[in-house]
């Protein structure tokens, strides 16, 4: 099975600076641009420095429409030169979910940094939360995609 290659259209090829503040996300696996040994680590400022996107949507986790803001997961993966077909995502509570890379290429899957324009608190599923653009397609409003929306995300392994 052929491994997909994430293009680097947004950032171009450049070195990823080391994290200067507490690390929120560690990406491991098949990376071309690690910044901490064989892994890539991101602090809040690094993630906020990527192109930011926002959308408002209803989700199963909140009783009303909420505004989500952050970089697209494909842009985060492009920054590290990720190569692979599968993303194994791990959360604080040891929740693990596999996301096909195809999801990230086909949909504007977001790595949420802000909820209603404020940093996402741990009690609100933060500080990082993967959210699919549920508002764009009824096909995304299923348990398959809801289960891939990992909150309290800490790591991604590129396979």
The rounded distance, in Å, linking the Cα atoms of 118 and 70 is 11
- Report CA 8 to chain centroid distance, whole Å: 16
* Nearest to 25, CA basis, from 75, 59, 63, 85: 75
Peptide bond into 8 cis (omega under 30): no
The rounded distance, in Å, linking the Cα atoms of 76 and 144 is 22
Segments in the chain below pLDDT 50: 1-13
State the pLDDT at residue 72: 98
State the pLDDT at residue 109: 97
State the pLDDT at residue 11: 44
The rounded distance, in Å, linking the Cα atoms of 103 and 81 is 17
pLDDT, tens digit (0-9, with 9 covering 90-100), for 57-101: 989 998 899 999 999 999 999 999 999 999 999 999 889 999 999
The rounded distance, in Å, linking the Cα atoms of 64 and 57 is 8
Write out the two tokens for 60.
């199963």
């Amino acid at each position: 099975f052929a491994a997909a290659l994430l293009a680097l259209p947004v950032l171009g090829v450049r070195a990823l600076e080391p994290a200067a503040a507490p690390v929120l996300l560690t990406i491991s696996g098949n990376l071309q641009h690690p910044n901490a040994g064989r892994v890539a680590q991101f602090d809040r400022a690094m993630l906020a420095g990527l192109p930011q996107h926002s959308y408002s949507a209803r989700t199963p986790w909140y009783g009303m429409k909420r505004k989500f803001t952050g970089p697209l997961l494909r842009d985060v993966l492009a920054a590290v030169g990720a190569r692979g077909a599968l993303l194994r995502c791990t959360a604080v509570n040891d929740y693990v979910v596999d996301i096909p890379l195809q999801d990230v290429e086909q949909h504007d899957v977001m790595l949420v940094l802000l909820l209603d324009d404020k940093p996402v608190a741990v009690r609100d599923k933060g500080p990082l939360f993967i959210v699919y653009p549920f508002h764009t397609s009824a096909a995304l409003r299923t348990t398959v995609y809801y289960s891939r929306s990992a909150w309290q995300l800490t790591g991604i392994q590129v396979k």
